[in-house]
Amino acid sequence: MTDKIDNEIVPLHALIEGKESRAVLADMQLKPENLPKIFSTDPQAVKLGAKPGDVIKIKRRDYGNAYEIYRLVVEEQ
């Protein structure tokens, strides 16, 4: 079976440190809850061992355009 997490079409996820995430949020003038969300039960979050409140950086490549987005880890409801 193919690996659903390490597949090449799945963008790279990375957990970022509190310091970096604060810098990112300040840069975008955001509160953490303004970020898009990701469930802590998401396979990527599970793999990274992310806890609710952490911020995950996702490197995406759409239309040949590389960019980064950030998601706040939240508990699944």
Give the binding range for other proteins (CB under 8 A) out of 9-17, 43-51, 56-64: 56-64
d(CA 46, CA 42): 6
Confirm or reject binding of residue 26 to other proteins (CB under 8 A).
Answer: no
For the four alpha carbons of 43, 44, 49 and 52, in that order, the dihedral sign comes to: negative
Residue 70: CB minimum distance to other proteins, A: 7
Q: Identify the helix (H) or strand (E) that includes residue 25.
A: helix 18-28
| Contacting residues toward other proteins, per CB under 8 A | 28-31, 33-36, 60, 62-63, 65, 67-70, 77
